[in-house]
Structure 1
């Protein structure tokens, strides 16, 4: 909106201004105006009239729109009141209205709940039957094991094996094995029938005062039992593990009679013979540092190198670190 100011005092000297309506002279200083300035003033007055007219039209339009807005607000309030009344009436009518499907839906929900309960019971019964079947199979297995044990016990009780004969056979095997081992000064080798311990040279094996002798006798003793058990149903595993059969033998032996390297070679030859004769019934596992040159590679299952200098694995679990 354009504003027009009428000056009473001169903005420069503050003296009263004599109004002059003459378009050709300045109303402030009385200077005579140029034609260009007169045209500009006339144009400004025309613009002023146009702006005043537009202003009146806009004011009138705004007032008309405000009246329309008030009418719309009033109608909106009336519509809201009508809607509220209709909602109240609908609620009132709904109270007395019975949905014909409600009872059917409730019945279906009840039946679904019953079916879910039956399914849970069936699932629990199935788990119970599975567990009963597992227990039954376990019991059947245990009953079979008990039956087998009873048969073995009965068979053992009815066995015609004579204890003295068995001890004599084991004593003969012990003496035979020690002879194959080239046991020095071997004589009077047997197993005592009371203590079941081996004797050599008429003395208990651990009383010989020879560590090398104890090594040989212990190997021969368990070899004799393993070989004899193969012949009868003695429930022996048929497995014998021998660790370091060369211990206390050879050049480092403390006793002169056991320094001969041929003793160790004889042990290896006999073990190879046992494997050849009874390989189907007996499994021998021998662990030792080194072996004779005559040993066939077929009899060597695995080689290890504890020093890590021979290009062999360090051990069963080869985790050596450089």
Structure 2
């Protein structure tokens, strides 16, 4: 995601020619190839719909620029670029801006580890607990398998931190929890702590917390990190011996794994990787040719048998009719199986209801037909009417089962007393005669439907058999008509199918073999890396007696610190030095007494002095430095320091970077975020964010323009 170059201002250097860029890339690559460390090449954010990329390479090469400037307006994602780089290298968190959480799913960083290209990937959203690392570059067609490396614990030999530290010569280093106590416990050095010397964020430039004064343990650890980088920490020989012993154990195990894998591959008689890759390519070519031949053969078969189109149509129709008839037959048979038991159940219900009606006629407990007093024949059976007995006119409060009218009993009905919603007792009647008539009607309907189904089944069975016979006859007719035309192609198709199966089996074996070789290569790379680390540690151990004096290292850092401030024309420069606790001083007092603009320049000079001396002395620094907003309080942004805004030329900052990188710092890498860099560094700008929808790129997330 490289911004288009704008016309250079008067006095600004013109764009380098392609030849100059190529020569520069060659010089940088040659300088960096002999050094350990890390170089940042590309950052790619993989999004939901698209990717977002920032490229730090020299044009038309795979070489990192010595200076890369990310320019643009406020709140466009410039600082997020550096924060994502730190995240991919093991930092705990990534930028949490809403547009990033909406659009980005993972961050990929292409780096060179001691000259070898690698890609590191971490998930975006919730901070991931592991990174995935593979050799190679972004955009490669054939991607090697990814290796999962946990973020924590940092001391795990399989962690991302251990991998990165191994390319800086610091794998296995232990830091004391209490440096002043000989028997203090230790914690493994992590690359996240080493980033304190690789990344100067905006908030650290002027907040009086340059050396983490607000966190005592972190401050002590920073001093140890500097000592470890320069190789001047206490008990170095003992620590080196411990690291060598641990590496020897890991190297022995890695060699054993490599030998076991190699022996297994040899037993399989796979041949060499080149031979297997040739077999794979040939199998892929044969498979593609077979597929094309089969498609061509199918076309020929269809062309040679077009005369049978009518027969095929008739056969298709007959087949459809046969399927429909069979489905209808199955449906009717299913219905018959369900209705026959239902008919039997209704017949049984009729029998029960008939018995109930007859029993009530036979066993009616009371049949009063004449008045017991005068022997006059009663006009109707005694019953309860309006709360009174019609026979004796007695008041009845609640009818009972024994007081059921005889007339209702005789006609086959039964009444029961129930309470209504208003509390009044009413009689619920069950009419056996009505239920018996309804049941008989339903039984008659079911019987009629069953008889119709039974009659229809005979016709359907005959129709299904006829449809099946018709479909079979038409199928034979199609075969007979096309047999002579298609037969010459059948043997060809069988041969092609066999060839396809053979090619697929060969291709699968070749791919499996290549996976085995990839596994062997990964183990071989681990052995090589451990051997190189062990060799370097043994060399350090031999020179341990010539360990550089810490005071001499601090003195050199202090001199470089003062020299840098002088080149930047720091006003009233006096008594500028770095003490033995690494605290920068100006005018004889700690940097915390300087103004905001002064603290910015002091912090920049301090981090650059450590970086430059580490690089020039071949110390264990990763070899890259990221600086966020070097113009803070110096003329850009909100709070300006009047003492420095007029007297300090920002161009001097960049001039110093170019001068140093051109000679003693050749091969090192510096990345700078700057809102408005001077015209003199126009050629170093890798991207310029505009924060304007009509001038892309708007920001890091280019399509978030509102």
What TM-score results when the alignment is normalised by the length of structure 1? 0.51
Contact 1:238 1:283 in 2 (8 A): yes
Change in 2 beyond 3 A, CA 1:183/1:235:
same
Aligned position for 1:49 = none
| 1:315 Cα offset (Å) | 1.7
Q: Secondary structure at the match of 1:302?
A: strand
Higher fraction of helix: 1
Contact 2:571 2:647 in 1 (8 A): no
Q: Secondary structure at the match of 2:571?
A: coil
Counterpart Cα distance in 2 of 1:132 and 1:281: 36
Aligned position for 2:657 = 271
Higher fraction of strand: 2
Change in 2 beyond 3 A, CA 1:234/1:296:
closer
Aligned position for 1:316 = 700
| 1:275 Cα offset (Å) | 3.5
Counterpart Cα distance in 2 of 1:273 and 1:244: 20
Aligned 1:159-170 pairs, distance under 5 A: 160=546, 161-170=548-557
The higher relative CO (CA closer than 8 Å, separation ≥ 6) is in: 2
| 1:212 Cα offset (Å) | 1.6
Counterpart Cα distance in 1 of 2:664 and 2:573: 25
Q: Secondary structure at the match of 1:223?
A: helix
Change in 2 beyond 3 A, CA 1:169/1:216:
same
Aligned position for 2:635 = 250
Contact 1:187 1:200 in 2 (8 A): yes
Change in 2 beyond 3 A, CA 1:296/1:255:
closer
Match status 1:304 vs 2:689: yes
Change in 2 beyond 3 A, CA 1:209/1:224:
closer
Aligned 1:219-298 pairs, distance under 5 A: 219-250=604-635, 254-260=640-646, 262-278=648-664, 280-293=666-679, 295-298=680-683
| 1:248 Cα offset (Å) | 0.8
Aligned position for 1:155 = 539
| 1:314 Cα offset (Å) | 0.8
Change in 2 beyond 3 A, CA 1:320/1:133:
closer
Counterpart Cα distance in 2 of 1:134 and 1:269: 46
Counterpart Cα distance in 2 of 1:283 and 1:151: 26
Counterpart Cα distance in 2 of 1:270 and 1:156: 32
Change in 2 beyond 3 A, CA 1:317/1:186:
same
Aligned 1:3-22 pairs, distance under 5 A: none
Larger radius of gyration: 1
Contact 1:226 1:282 in 2 (8 A): no
Aligned position for 1:79 = none
Deviations 1:46-89 (CA, angstroms, capped at 9, x unpaired)? xxxxxxxxxxxxxxxxxxxxxxxxxxxxxxxxxxxxxxxxxxxx
Gaps of 5+ in 1: 1-126
What is the count of residue pairs matched by the alignment? 194
Deviations 1:195-252 (CA, angstroms, capped at 9, x unpaired)? 22322222222x2242222211111112112211222221222211111110011286
Gaps of 5+ in 2: 1-511
Aligned position for 1:142 = 526
Change in 2 beyond 3 A, CA 1:253/1:268:
farther
Match status 1:190 vs 2:577: yes
Contact 2:600 2:632 in 1 (8 A): yes
Change in 2 beyond 3 A, CA 1:236/1:185:
same
| 1:276 Cα offset (Å) | 3.0
What TM-score results when the alignment is normalised by the length of structure 2? 0.25
Counterpart Cα distance in 2 of 1:176 and 1:316: 36
Deviations 1:251-310 (CA, angstroms, capped at 9, x unpaired)? 8655432121643232232223233335632111111111224x153222222112446x
Of residues 570, 589, 605, the one that matches 1:203 is 589
RMSD: 3.2
Q: Secondary structure at the match of 1:301?
A: strand
Contact 1:249 1:261 in 2 (8 A): no
Aligned position for 1:180 = 567
